[in-house]
Chain A
Amino acid sequence: MTMTPQPPEPLLEVSHFSLRLPAPERELTVIDSLDLSVNRGERLALVGASGAGKSQLALAIAALSPAEARCQGSIRFEGQALTGAPAHQLRALRGARIGLIHQQPTLALAPHLTIGRQLMEVLYAHGRARPATARSAAIDRLESVGMPDPAAMLERYPHELSGGLLQRAMIAIALMGNPSLLIADEPTSGLDPSVQATVLTLLDRLCRSEGLGLIFITHDLSVAAALCERIAVMDAGRIVETGETATVLRQPQQACTRRLIAATAALGSRARP
């Protein structure tokens, strides 16, 4: 008897997920019956115009939606339901299995704590290291993200670092617990083009070397094309188009995808001398 090979269980599976927020007159549907899955080691770009619901989806996956939000449907991570999970279970997953890179590292890093302290806190929180070993683990992680002089960097405060170094520090903190899924919420916005390219190359290398699943949120299709093999286009809280990045960008099926492509092309042609 031959066994039919089962498809691998997705790393992340979002099914019929809706998120509504209270508004003065009627509820605001931020995410509308959304389905999405990410496999292990897969890099998915989540693109869409501002207000499409990309960042809200990222927060929902990290179970950080506002307290007043009303959620329906399910989000499963490594087979475990995140929606309605108790706080201690979510805490064990956050940082250790799911990492999140924020849009603005200048705001997301605690201003009064050194980079080293913020790295080591992740290890302590998940019982991964004791003070004796945490420091060397933090140095190793800073090295892995290409931080110059990692030992000295441990003692630096966020305000002492440039935008590019801050984003590297943010990536290092997000990866400190060795997660299997990394959510990057527009990590290159606000960075100059050369630093953007460095951060993208770094993410590409880390995803390949550590087998990370990646959800890369952006509104820049060229960045999505450079990094991700699959793309999902969001509009008004829904995924309107998904597929291989090259295919979707070559043969867009939806009007909003065409608009995004046209906008990226227009920006590109303007930028050209």
Chain B
Amino acid sequence: MIAARKVRRPLTLLLILVGVAMIGGLVSPWAPEQIDWEHITMAPGTAGHHWFGTDRLGRDLWARLCAGLRLSLVTTLVASAISVALGTTVGLIAGYARRGVDELLMHLVDGLYALPYVLLVIIVTTRVGTGPGSLALAMATIGWLPLARATRDETRRLRSAPFIEAAIVMGLPPWTILSRHLLPNLGGLLLVQTALLAPQFILLESFLSFLGLGMTEPAASLGNLLSQGAQSLEVAPWLELLPASTLVLLVASLMRLGEAYRDDHDAAAA
């Protein structure tokens, strides 16, 4: 059982951020892309109903931050789901199959690891186009690699466990052994790996959008809000500080949660 005190704070913070992302936009009178020509580059609290101020096009920062947060979370969720599905499948097959198949799949993983990930992302986004879907796909292109390796190592270890040998002796087909006997025993590992991967996805999305490889205007994401904020840092520092603080809080809460799960998993395995 994970120590409640380790999880309480980061989980509370994460739930607050998720809540803000989901309903924050609904309580704002402004839409994320709506322009208020009368209030351009206003500081937080200086103009009616623009609680976090406005950007240089008069768009409400609170509404855009909520939309950006929502998009970052959804993109991370989708990228994590794709990574877990792909990484687990490849890792299970490599860990359970004969040496030749294992070597082939692990060479593929190592080969993709060796490529600069920005190059991979550029290839995917140019083939599929920009948008949340292609961004999630691009992030998953590299996200599944550590999952595949960890799953493969754990499957190799479990393959010689007596209950797996017993399943083989009973004549169970490989698919049944993989899906019913091995996979349920990888739950803890997958949870830890995914929890540690999520903050990396958040950062990656921000980084790619900052570079213009992810979400592009007028859509709001944490990355392109940071990018726009950086351009107005001297005249409107809140445009940078508020998205940056949100990003830090989100990444920190996810990292602390991931670390708590990892510590719990390591303690259980010891």
Binding site for B on A (CB under 8 A): 62, 64, 67, 91-96, 98-100, 102, 104, 107-113, 121-122, 124-126, 173-174, 176-177
Cα–Cα distance between A99 and B166 once the two chains are bound (Å): 10
Any chain A CB within 8 A of the CB of B218?
Answer: no
B170 & A125 in contact (Cβ 8 Å cutoff): yes
Give the residue name and chain of the B residue nearest to A106 (CB): B162
Chain B nearest Cβ from A213, distance in angstroms: 16
Q: Are A125 and B176 in contact (CB under 8 A)?
A: yes
CB neighbors of A among B168-199 (8 A)? 168-173, 176, 180-181, 184-185
Report which residue of B167, B180, B185 has the largest number of chain A beta carbons within 10 angstroms of its beta carbon.
B167
Residues of B within 8 A of A (CB): 98-99, 161-163, 165-173, 176, 180-181, 184-185
Q: Return the chain A residue nearest B167 by Cβ.
A: A110
CB distance from A169 to the nearest CB of B (A): 11
Interface pair B99/A108, CB less than 8 Å apart: no
- Kindly provide the distance from the CB of A177 to the nearest chain B CB, expressed in whole angstroms: 7
Supposing A104-B162, A107-B161 touch, asked if A112 and B171 sit within 8 A by C-beta, the answer is no
Q: Is the CB of A108 within 8 A of B163?
A: yes
The answer for the CA separation of A102 and B165 in the assembled complex, in Å, is 9
Chain A contacts for B163, CB-based, 8 A: 107-111
Q: Is the CB of A109 within 8 A of B166?
A: yes
CB neighbours (8 Å) of A92 from chain B are 171
Contacts A107-B163, A173-B170 known; A112 to B184 CB distance under 8 Å? yes
Bound-state Cα–Cα, A96 to B176, Å: 16
* CA A179 to CA B163, docked complex, whole Å: 19
- CB pair B166–A93 under 8 Å, yes or no, is no
Are B162 and A108 interface neighbours, CB within 8 A? yes
A98 vs B98: C-alpha distance in the bound complex, in angstroms? 23
Q: Of the candidates B166, B167, B171, B180, which one forms a contact with A177 in the assembled complex, judged by CB atoms under 8 Å apart?
A: B171
Complexed CA–CA distance, A96 and B163 (Å): 18
- CA gap between A174 and B165 in the complex, in Å: 13
Contact of B169 among A64, A110, A112, A126 (CB under 8 A): A64
CA distance A80 to B172 in the complex (A): 20
Contacts of A62 in B (CB 8 A): 169
Task: Tell me if A95 and B162 are in contact (CB < 8 A).
Answer: no
Contact call A95/B185, Cβ cutoff below 8 A: no
Q: CA separation between A108 and B181, bound complex, in Å?
A: 12
CA distance A174 to B161 in the complex (A): 17
15 residue pairs of the A-B complex, CB under 8 angstroms, read A62-B169, A67-B99, A93-B171, A104-B162, A108-B165, A110-B166, A111-B163, A113-B180, A121-B167, A121-B180, A125-B173, A125-B176, A126-B171, A173-B170, A177-B170
Closest to A176 in B: B170
Decide: B166 and A102 in contact? CB cutoff 8 A: yes
Contacts of B166 in A (CB 8 A): 100, 102, 108-110, 173
Chain A, residue nearest B181 (CB): A110
* Chain A hits for B181, CB < 8 A: 110, 113
Given A112-B185, A121-B180: A94 in contact with B170 (beta carbons within 8 A): yes
Q: Are B171 and A122 in contact (CB under 8 A)?
A: yes
Once the chains are docked, how many angstroms separate the CA of A71 from the CA of B167?
Answer: 23
Cβ contact of A125, chosen from B161, B162, B165, B172, cutoff 8 A: B172
| B168 contact set on A, CB distance < 8 A | 64, 94
Most buried by A among B161, B162, B171: B171
Contacts of B172 in A (CB 8 A): 91, 95, 121-122, 125
Judge whether B173 and A91 touch: CB under 8 Å: yes
Interface residue from A91, A107, A122, A176 paired with B162 (Cβ < 8 Å): A107
Complex A-B, nearest 5 residue pairs according to Cβ-Cβ distance, in ascending order: A95-B171, A94-B171, A95-B170, A107-B162, A108-B166
CB distance from A60 to the nearest CB of B (A): 12
Min CB–CB distance A110 → chain B (angstroms): 5
Which residue in A91, A108, A109, A113 is a CB contact (below 8 Å) of B171?
A: A91
Residues of A within 8 A of B169 (CB): 62, 64, 94-95, 98-100
Give the residues in chain B near A91, CB-CB below 8 Å: 171-173
| Distance, CA A19 to CA B176, complexed state (A) | 29
Which residues of B have CB within 8 Å of A67? 98-99
In the bound assembly, the distance between CA atoms of A163 and B171 in angstroms comes to 25
Of chain A, the residue at the smallest CB distance from B160 is: A66
Inter-chain contact B162/A121, CB cutoff 8 Å: no
* B196 CB → nearest A CB, Å: 24
Question: Known: A67-B98, A107-B162, A109-B163. Is A121-B170 also a contact (CB below 8 A)?
Answer: yes
